[in-house]
Amino acid sequence: MRNNFVLGIGITGLQSCTVTIDTMQDFLSYDLEGLRLLMAAWDQPSWRARQISAWVWQRDAADYAAMTDLPASLRERLATELPLRRAAAAERRVSRDATRKYLLRLADGVAVETVAIPGTGGGSSGSADQRLTVCVSSQAGCALGCVFCATGRAGLTRSLGAGEIAEQVRVVSEDFSRVVTNVVVMGQGEPFANYDATLGALRLLNSPEAFNIGARHLTVSTSGLIAGIARLAAEPEQFRLAVSLHAATQELRDRLMPGLRGQPLTALREALIDYRARSGRRVSLEYVLLRDVNDHESDLDALANFARATQAHVNLLPYNDTGTKGSGSLSPSARTREAAEFLRAAGIETSVRRSRGEDIAAACGQLAGSA
């Protein structure tokens, strides 16, 4: 299995920074470029942003007072105009399989969930798998309302800032006393409904001034917002992209993912073909197998055609029960293995995701905001 897809769950560009300076006054709403622009506006030397980032992201400074190599006047101004309010873990649960789920409280009291998935090596020296994957949330809640997803049912509270997304990774790294090796933006929320902050967070995670995680170890998962896919295709970094497909026929997709009705499959397919051509990178299509809903041969045939057209890899996800009510009950398909064989026989590179953290409701789609 590909290391970026151990568990399904879920970044700021130049454009966002110009906005964040005017409208936000909290350090965690900023990305690196925003901080650089702010320091320039305050007539500070160009390396100041780097120095402050290192304190916040690498040295875990609790506040500006700890940043002893900054001039006292700057520390005071920062404390007043750009308060640094770290997220705190209000709750932490540990799964039988060592997955940890955190409920993090942000400065305004909003809570988001973050999941940490350690490699099977358990951290002892000499063991093969020293990975530590963090699944971060890009929004508190989600507005898109996919019927199989607990986050979607709760609705959207608000989008997160770039630093708030990166902060989730810092908290996990501190808790494990280990370096985080992979990040997936697959937690609560739709990252491309919060594109600038998501990209800013990915850049923070990628930057040697902050987390220094290789771009290929950073994955963003979208439900298929076409404008975001087009923007990511134009970014210079090699970030990975996963797309939650779940149905390759329009009627079924509209039913399962009602928030995506304005983003037709034909346009999604074109966007992915274009993404592949411009970035040279292979996309992963996520498909949660639902019994008697999207696991018929005709559904898989449509999926194979979609994957072939977009040269994508398919990642089959077991359905994690979220107690769906109202839109008819959903249950996991018993046909995962057959489905994988069917797709492989059709020439599609296919993997099956092993669910982690199910016993603590930390698996895909189970993040509802109440650890």
Burial of residue 345 (CB within 10 Å: 0-12, 13-18, 19+) is exposed
Q: Residue 286: which of ligand SF4, ligand SAH, none does it interact with, CB under 5 to 8 A by kind?
A: ligand SAH
Active-site residue set: 113, 364
Residue 200 has, within 13 A of its CA and on its CB side, a CA count of: 31
CA end-to-end distance (rounded Å), the chain: 28
Task: Tell me which residue of 349, 320, 303 sits closest to 99, measured CA to CA.
Answer: 320
Binding of ligand SAH at residue 268 (CB under 6 A)? Answer: no
* Residues of span 231-290 touching ligand SF4 by CB under 6 A: 244
**Contact of 20 with 37, CB cutoff 8 Å:** no
Q: Which stretch binds ligand SAH (CB under 6 A): 68-76, 172-180, 221-229, 264-272?
A: 221-229
Choose which of 28, 56, 112, 142 interacts with ligand SF4 (CB under 6 A): 142
If the CB atoms of residues 118 and 191 are measured against ligand SF4, the closer one turns out to be 191
Quote the tokens at residue 276. Answer: 């592949």
Q: Which of 49, 134, 144, 312 binds ligand SF4 (CB under 6 A)?
A: 144
Binding mask 177-196 for ligand SAH (x = CB under 6 A): ---------x---x------
Q: Is 364 in the site for ligand SAH (CB under 6 A)?
A: yes
Pairing of strands 100-105, 88-94: antiparallel
**DSSP E strand boundaries for 255-366:** 284-289, 313-318, 350-352
Q: In this chain, which of 152, 228, 318, 357 binds ligand SF4, going by CB under 6 A?
A: 152
CB of 358 to ligand SF4, least distance (A): 17
357 touching ligand SF4, by CB under 6 A: no
How many other CB atoms are found less than 10 A from the CB of residue 358? 17
**Which of ligand SF4, ligand SAH, none does residue 322 bind to, with CB < 5 to 8 Å depending on kind?**
ligand SAH
Instruction: Kindly determine how many residues on this chain lie close enough to bind ligand SF4 according to the rule CB under 6 A.
Output: 11
What DSSP line would sit under 20-74, residue for residue?
Answer: HHHH--SGGG--HHHHHHHHHHTT--TTHHHHHHIIIIIS--SSGGG-TTS-HHH
By the rule CB under 6 A, 149 interacts with ligand SF4 = yes
SS3 203: helix
Backbone phi, psi, residue 324, to 5°: -60, 135
d(CA 192, CA 223): 9
- Out of 317, 343, 361, 368, which residue is the one contacting ligand SAH (CB under 6 A)? 317
Cβ closer to ligand SF4: 244 or 355? 244
Q: Residues 222, 242: contact at Cβ < 8 Å?
A: yes
**At its nearest, how many Å lie between ligand SAH and the CB of residue 312?**
14
Closest residue to ligand SAH, based on beta-carbon distance? 365
| Rounded Cα gap, residues 78 and 56, in angstroms | 13
Under rule CB under 6 A, residue 113 binds ligand SAH: no
Interface with ligand SF4, residue 151, by CB under 6 A: yes
Residue numbers at the binding site for ligand SF4 (CB under 6 A): 142, 144-146, 149, 151-152, 189-190, 223, 244
Positions that interact with ligand SAH (CB under 6 A):
8-10, 142, 148-149, 186, 190, 221-223, 244, 286, 288, 317, 319-320, 322, 364-365
